[in-house]
Amino acid sequence: MSGGVLFEFVQMGQVMRVAAIDEVTGTEVFVITPVSATRLQMERVALAKLRRKLGDPEPPPPPPTGRYA
């Protein structure tokens, strides 16, 4: 993806329909998430699905932070 991504959020009862749209290609995907999820979690799931559809490689996961006991 070389351009930006637009997100649309529509609450339907106890679930949220999140659409992710690639600005360059107009490709759209949507996911259904619980309304209890954070906005960031919803966007990450939708963005991952959009990347898979476009064939983009997923970025590596962020390094762990914090201390472990």
Q: What is the DSSP string of 27-68?
A: -EEEEEEETTS-HHHHHHHHHHHHHHHHTPPPPPPPPP-S--
Q: Does 21 map to a domain? A: yes
CA distances from residue 63 to 8, 10, 36, 51 in whole angstroms, order as listed: 29, 32, 26, 21
- Residue 20, domain extent: 5-54
Q: Does 66 map to a domain? A: no
Range with lowest mean pLDDT among 3-7, 8-12, 60-64: 60-64
Q: Does 22 map to a domain? A: yes
Sheet-wide strand order for 28-34 = 5-12, 15-22, 28-34
Q: What count of Cα atoms within 13 Å lies in the side-chain half-sphere of residue 45?
A: 15
Number of domains in the chain: 1
pTM given for the model: 0.76
Q: Does 69 map to a domain? A: no
Percentage of residues of the chain with pLDDT beyond 70: 91
Q: Could you read off the pLDDT of 29-49 as tens digits, one per residue?
A: 999 999 999 999 999 999 999
Which pLDDT score, from 0 to 100, does residue 56 have?
Answer: 77
Q: Does 50 map to a domain? A: yes
Q: Does 60 map to a domain? A: no
Average pLDDT for 18-25 = 96
Q: Does 48 map to a domain? A: yes
